[in-house]
Amino acid sequence: MEHKQARQVDHAPHGFLQTGQRNCYDMAGEIISCAETGQDGEYRRGLSWPEPRFEAVSDIVLDHLTGLAWTTNANLAEFPLMWQEALEFILDMNRRKTYGFSDWRLPNRRELRSLVSYETRRPALPQGHPFSNIFLGWYWTSTSAAINPAYAWYIHMEGARLFYGRKDQYFLLWPVRGRSTVLPATGQRICYDSAGVELPCGNTGQDGETTMGLTWPSPRFEVLDYSVIDRLTGLRWLRKASLSEEATSWPGSFDLVEQLNGNRAGDGLHWRLPCINELESLVDCSTHSPALPPGHPFTDVKDVYWSSTTSFFETDWAWALYLTKGALGVGIKKEKNFFVWPVSDE
């Protein structure tokens, strides 16, 4: 059966999507007015979601935000598989031309993350989505973890956490096809077996073979005195990647950004705390410690950074980028555990 292609949203590529968060929350997790909070729910930066976002066409769902096509059934294999088994399952789908196509693949981590909504939970998918058989657990991506290639990245569909698991463990898969014109490539160019040993990429179906996504500009970064422009996203980051030498709380992170703006420091721009999708846009999945593109111009890089995005799963927690690994997790807002790396649109 012939399926039409998803229409693309009429936006210049920014390299990151809106998170979907529309509300703002205090430190205790209570909903508050977004005005002057500096939170994700106030700024809502990133590519906006079209309405309707999804279009179900028989057994396939078109995502009009990214241009990707997903199987309607989010548990096509019916049972968990090891990572290599998941890749082989999709190769078999292509041999059988499942739903009329032979170009299915295991999504890379940015493709699978593109489905996530940070304003929902159980599952962490946009409200009104047309998918079925969603498992509230981990889903494999085709992207190996650079910090230990015997592990691969996966996403938890109950609350949207992004981490990595051993490739010999058993998790779910969700096939995708098509090429997005808005999602950047992950940066991964090498393929690995389940033991983490490098191998030729041909016919593996891994991220290192398919390299789906927008090509990164070269050079990626442009240094402007105290700030750095990311030419992939258009965002400007403070070159010194921390506003303090000591970790701070989530409310403290907004205070530090306010002080920066009050002092008119950092090239005199207006700065804010980035949302979790903006922070993730910096990650290069080919490296670790930190998971930033090699040759990046940033200084004083820390391990974990607060985002302006509240965890909808537990709203007294907020999302954070674990930059050593490239993982996305959460932290308790009141605890002084993470650092602050401001961003600007100017």
Q: Are 91 and 127 in contact (CB under 8 A)?
A: no
pLDDT in tens, 307-335: 999 999 999 999 999 999 999 999 999 99
The total number of residues written for the chain in this structure:
346
pLDDT in tens, 100-143: 999 999 999 999 999 999 999 999 999 999 999 999 999 999 99
Q: Cβ neighbours of residue 90 under 8 Å, at least 6 residues apart?
A: 104, 105, 106, 173, 175, 205
pLDDT over 60 at 61, yes or no? yes
**Residue whose C-alpha is closest to residue 178's, from 96, 101, 77:** 101
């160019």: which residue's tokens?
189
**What one-letter code names the amino acid at 175?**
P
pLDDT in tens, 12-48: 447 899 999 999 999 999 999 999 999 999 999 999 9
> What are the tokens at 20?
């979907």
